[in-house]
Structure 1
Amino acid sequence: MNFALTVKGSMLEGFYPAGWNMEKIDRCCANSPESIRERQPFWNKQFQPIPCEEVAEFDVKMGHEISWQIRKSKEEGRKVAFIFPAGPMGMYKWAVYFLKEWGVDCKHVYGFNMDEWSDGEGWTLPSDNPGSFQYAMEHAFYGPLGEYSVPVEQRHFATARTLPAYSEKIAALKAEGAELITVFGIGRMMHIAFWEPHFGGEYASDEEWSKETHRIGAQLHPLTIEQNAITSFKSRTPLVSCRANTIGPGLFLQSDYIIGGCDGALGRGMQWQGLSLWTTLRHGPDRWLPSTFMPTMPGKLFFLKELAGPLGAELN
């Protein structure tokens, strides 16, 4: 029996996004772990999924990729714009390490945080609040870089005032020859930043959807809230906002290069990101599953090898 069919008529009907084909998503997850890197017709020729044995390897490789792209743009004498996430986070200490070891400063780097917790009007936490993404970035990346850091005026955070200006600022940088690099994790709901899958129902086509650059006070899916309760707030759901300011596909689909990460293993054989990884790599582009567009762009997606599965029932 395929239990994916039992969503209809259950309490979960209307909970999952209307555009999700649960049977197709399940088929994506039914492949053998060894086949996860098999190239798909919709992948960009320069897109690579890269397995990592453990979190330590994952952090080093992602940090190296970020710092290498910063170094490369420096050596080529051009500016570079980064869309940065506040998760995964372990990569930043290694990016700092490599940049300092190489003696490469970030005066040519322009950072745009992809999202931030907010209320319905887009008001965000104070920058000195440990729960804010700005606080996380300042303490994990910008601050530790010291004299090598991104100039303060080139650091942008997703406030209601600043986020709407991202598109114009990034366009101006690209006009000067800068590349746009998006660093990201994949959400449980296959979101990129906090651009949620249920937003797909507001648009008549993928093309219309793909033009949206941002959203203020975006309404988050319950599973996104629970994902963050588990990964960032030690299960304390009341600390997690139900809304956020976020970039949209009109920005992340402009990327010249992407650096993605999936490290959602919880230990003792438990994980939350295997379905998200497989769906991203196998489903094909669909606005109801934002992460499925990422393999269409050049870049790398680092993932913990155990996320490839096999996915299914297991005694713990």
Structure 2
Amino acid sequence: MKHDYYRISAEELGQGARVPLLKLGDSGEVFYQMALEMVTEIERKNALGEKTVFICPVGPVGQYPIFVRLVNERQLSLKSCWFINMDEYLTDDGAWIDESDPLSFRGFMNREVYGKIDPELLMPAEQRVFPDPTDLERIPALIEELGGVDIAFGGIGITGHLAFNEPDESLTPDEFAALRTRTLDIHPETRATNCIADMGGSLEDFPRRCVTIGMHEILGARKVRLGVFRDWHRAVVRRAAYGAVTAGFPATLLQNHPDALIYVNANAAQRAY
């Protein structure tokens, strides 16, 4: 069965969408918008004397050089910020991959974000959090303790996954939305897509397991902001915004969120086929 939403034109994209879409120009505009929203929210919360709590991805990552520059230029204190990263790859025996591995999200954040911010502005190490396969209850409990997440940032994967919340059609949308931090197998489609981008197609060496925060944590954020910009995002963003709500395509659950927004570059805005 063909789906008409894949043939929505760039000009018509957004009309009648059940998730708001903000159409922008090139990818740089998407990344700048995400970085600016991060900085603006931190400035607002700092002025109120309150904590800022973000869920952060490693993919997309184009926002981080802009964020780092703005933080350093504005001398913006991150001392009251908590950055909770979405996920990390695991070895076959269930441990984090080594931080020195080029695929490591922990390594990326330490090198490209925390390592490039003025140390006097940086939050303490305990406020830079990754889901831990040996302590899966920590992040849901921490979010509750902190009073919730202000903004969950991220992208959308080829299977519609947010973080590594891969589809599970055996669950209802409500059951899927209740899933919390856990370890799981990475779907073959996701492994193939990611290994093309990150390992030159070396599929046999690509991780098979991951640890991820749950849909419960993402959908519980007061705001959700996602960026899409790749060729295959043309289909993904259309299904997310116009398709039926289903655990078979997790991004469709955003249709039930009170303040979700997807930033779409001019490439991803083009019709899928």
Structure 1 and Structure 2 fold alike (TM over 0.5): yes
| 1:30 has 2:7 as partner | yes
Q: Does the 8 Å contact 1:200/1:209 carry over to 2?
A: no
TM-score by length of 2: 0.92
Going from structure 1 to structure 2, the CA distance change for 1:301 and 1:38 (only over 3 Å counts) comes to same
Q: CA RMSD in A?
A: 1.8
> Shift of residue 206 of structure 1?
2.1
Deviations 1:67-124 (A, max 9, x none): 2222222122211221111111110011111122222111111111111111355311
Q: Given residue 157 of structure 2, which amino acid in structure 1 is its aligned partner?
A: G
SS in 2 for 1:209: helix
- Counterparts of 1:284 and 1:76, CA distance in 2: 40
Q: Given residue 90 of structure 1, which amino acid in structure 2 is its aligned partner?
A: G
Equivalent residue in structure 2 for 1:302, among 263, 266, 270: 263
Deviations 1:184-223 (A, max 9, x none): 11001100001101x231x3x322222211221x111111
> Shift of residue 162 of structure 1?
4.1
SS in 1 for 2:117: helix
**Structure 1 runs (4+) greater than 3 angstroms displaced:** none
Q: Given residue 134 of structure 1, which amino acid in structure 2 is its aligned partner?
A: R
Aligned residues: 271
Deviations 1:283-303 (A, max 9, x none): 142221111122433143212
Q: Does the 8 Å contact 1:88/1:263 carry over to 2?
A: no
- Counterparts of 1:72 and 1:163, CA distance in 2: 31
- 1:277 is matched with 237
SS in 2 for 1:200: coil
Q: Does the 8 Å contact 2:156/2:251 carry over to 1?
A: yes
| 1:83 has 2:55 as partner | yes
| 1:222 has 2:222 as partner | no
Structure 2 gap segments, 5+ residues each: none
Deviations 1:247-289 (A, max 9, x none): 111111101011211121xxxxxx2221111111111422211
When Rg is computed on C-alpha atoms for both structures, the one with the higher figure is 1
- Counterparts of 2:136 and 2:77, CA distance in 1: 25
Give the % identical residues. 23
Q: Does the 8 Å contact 1:213/1:250 carry over to 2?
A: yes
TM-score by length of 1: 0.80
- 2:214 is matched with 248
- 1:167 is matched with 140
Q: Does the 8 Å contact 2:78/2:122 carry over to 1?
A: yes
> Shift of residue 164 of structure 1?
2.8
Going from structure 1 to structure 2, the CA distance change for 1:68 and 1:39 (only over 3 Å counts) comes to farther
Q: Does the 8 Å contact 1:226/1:237 carry over to 2?
A: yes
Range with bigger deviation, 119-128 or 281-290: 119-128
Structure 1 gap segments, 5+ residues each: 5-22, 265-270
- 1:157 is matched with 130
